[in-house]
Amino acid sequence: MLASACGTLAAGLSHVFSEQLRRGSPPPQRSVSRVRSGSFLEDITSSEFEARYDEIAAARPDVRVIEYILGWPKLLEWAHSVGAYEDATLRNLVPAVPPPELRGITADPAVPVFLWTGLVEAELMLHVYRRHRPDVDSRRPRILDFGCGCGRMTRFFGSRPDKWLTHGCEVNPRHVAWCQKNLPNVTTAQCNVWPPAPYESGFFDLIYCLSVFTHLPESRADAWIKDITRMLAPGGLGIVTTQGNAALETIRASSLHQEMFRLSVQAVADIIARFEESPFVFVQYDDANARRANAGTDYGSTFIHPDYMRSRWESRECEVVEILPGGLRSWQDIVVLRRR
Ligand SMILES: C[S@@+](CC[C@H](N)C(=O)[O-])C[C@H]1O[C@@H](n2cnc3c(N)ncnc32)[C@H](O)[C@@H]1O
């Protein structure tokens, strides 16, 4: 009896609620739910973008539910990825999306995924930087995205030239051409396979390299760590992602990843078993894959043990200040370097 009364009440409430949603009311309660926190997501959201989001939310109950679930400003992750993909007005308020062949070289080519991963990874780079350098937050940092691809992350930093001076560099000329044409607030430069990069010494406060050292052979990795150190101002940070145990364990457990990496389960198990004694493993791409990447012939999949980075990358100029195993979405490790 009680159960059936509760069921009736619930059905009645759900009817009222869905009626309200159908009529487009209540309107989003901005003053209640939008507590401003000065986050990266808020920084990159223009007032026009937010106004258009409001129109969408007023018309679409499913979007309001997403806002209720996520809260503000987390909701902005949805708006800058799925929203900016689905809605033509939002899409026009952000930079163009690169073509599929360029997206596919650098990350997941599906547009909302490409945008969402770029957004949260740019936010993560800035979070790590600010955690290590809270003192310099008041001035506009000079940032370099080394191996920026088609601007998956620089597109977000570039949206606020008043807050960050954003540079990107790339070895693949097609990425460079696309970024130069489509990301006007980002200065993108052509790099060579080998250093030096075309920047003066000590220029940058932050240089981040996402999924670049995951492809380089040892001699090139060594040379680029030295050049990144050269380009950093004293106290500046280098944030480099690498593949270590977290990536290897994922590949060992997943046939999909074994196929992607062209590694058998036995080959991965062997790398894991010998990782401490062979802490830098480079598996060269086949010709077709190397041609597609267009980043030098000596290019492939690289796995680096944290102990190696601590001993090999540490120098008179460069301190390894932190290693976060699996810090990038439980997949790649994050290594934080500081210019002494
Ligand atoms: C897997 S992609 C990642 C791209 C970008 N960091 C991102 O996360 O979207 C690796 C990138 O590093 C670039 N790269 C490799 N060697 C480089 C070098 N010597 N100088 C600049 N870029 C390089 C490649 O061309 C490629 O775009």
110 & 128 share domain: yes
Q: Is 149 in the pocket of ligand 1 (CB under 6 A)?
A: yes
Looking at residue 296, its pLDDT comes to 85
Cα-to-centroid distance, 2 and ligand 1 (Å): 63
The residue among 153, 40, 51 whose CA lies nearest residue 93 is 51
CB of 98 closer than 6 A to ligand 1? no
Same domain, 86 and 161: no
Question: Ligand 1: which residue has its CA nearest to atom 10?
Answer: 212
pLDDT at residue 287 tops 90: no
Helix (H) or strand (E) holding 339, with range, is: strand 332-339
pLDDT tens figures, 115-124: 999 999 999 9
Query: Are residues 333 and 201 part of one domain?
Result: yes
Q: Rounded mean pLDDT of 14-30?
A: 46
Q: Could you tell me if 110 and 62 lie in one domain? A: no
Structural domains in the chain (count): 2
Q: Which of 70, 92, 114 is the last residue of a domain?
A: 92
For the chain, percent of residues with pLDDT exceeding 90: 82
- Structure confidence by residue, pLDDT tens digits, 150-181: 999 999 999 999 999 999 999 999 999 999 99
Ligand 1, atom 1, lies closest to the CA of 106
Protein residue with its CA nearest to atom 14 in ligand 1: 147
Mean pLDDT of 71-94: 96
Q: Is 106 in the pocket of ligand 1 (CB under 6 A)?
A: yes
Residue 166 · residue 186 · CB < 8 Å? yes
Phi/psi at 240 (nearest 5 deg)?
-125, 135
With residue 334 as reference, give the H or E element that holds it: strand 332-339
- Tell me: do 165 and 276 sit in the same domain: yes
- Do the beta carbons of residue 246 and residue 253 sit within 8 Å? no
> Cα(106) to centroid of ligand 1, in Å?
7
Residue 241: phi and psi, rounded to 5, are -100, 145
Quick one: average pLDDT of 250-268? Answer: 95
- Ligand 1 near 124 CB (within 6 A): no
Q: pLDDT tens-digit profile of 302-314? A: 999 999 999 999 9
Asked whether residue 65 falls in the same domain as residue 144, the answer is no
pLDDT for 17 equals 40
241 & 266 share domain: yes
pLDDT average, residue stretch 30-47:
81
* φ and ψ of 285, to 5 deg: -70, 155
Nearest-atom number in ligand 1 for the CA of 169 is 21
- Whether the CB of 170 sits within 6 Å of ligand 1: yes
For 109-170, give the secondary structure using H, E and C: CCHHHHHHHHHHHHHHHHHHHHHHCHHHCCCCCEEEEECCCCCCCHHHHCCCCCCCEEEEEE
pLDDT of residue 312: 97
Q: Name the domain boundary from 45, 75, 92.
A: 92
- Do 83 and 119 have their domain in common? no
> If you take atom 23 of ligand 1, which residue's CA is the nearest one?
147
Query: Which region among 164-168, 288-292, 315-319 has the lowest average model confidence (pLDDT)?
Result: 288-292
Q: 294 with 268, same domain?
A: yes
Going by CA atoms, what residue is nearest to atom 15 of ligand 1? Answer: 295
- Residue-range definition of the domain harbouring residue 78: 2-92
pLDDT at residue 12 is higher than 90: no
Domain-ending residue, one of 39, 57, 92: 92
- Judge if 132 and 45 occupy the same domain: no
The per-residue pLDDT for 137 is 58
Phi, psi (rounded to 5 degrees) for 143: -115, 135
CA atoms within 13 A on the CB side of 279: 11
Enter the pTM of the model. 0.90
Q: Cβ distance 147 to 212 under 8 Å?
A: yes
6 and 134 co-located in one domain:
no
Q: What is the mean pLDDT of residues 21-33?
A: 50
The confidence score (pLDDT) of residue 204 equals 97
pLDDT of residue 11: 38
- At residue 147, does pLDDT exceed 90? yes
pLDDT of residue 316: 96
Question: Best of 106, 192, 329 to mutate for ligand 1, by most ligand atoms within 8 A of CB?
Answer: 106
- Could you give the CA distance from residue 98 to residue 180 in angstroms, rounded to a whole number? 12
State residue 21's pLDDT score: 44
Q: What is the pLDDT of residue 226?
A: 98
133 and 70 both lie in a single domain: no
- The per-residue pLDDT for 252 is 97
Mean pLDDT, rounded, for 271-277: 97
Q: What is the CATH number of the domain that holds 109?
A: 3.40.50.150
Find residue 145's DSSP bridge partners: 168, 208
95-116: per-residue pLDDT in tens?
Answer: 999 999 999 999 899 999 999 9
pLDDT in tens, 220-254: 999 999 999 999 999 999 999 999 999 999 999 99
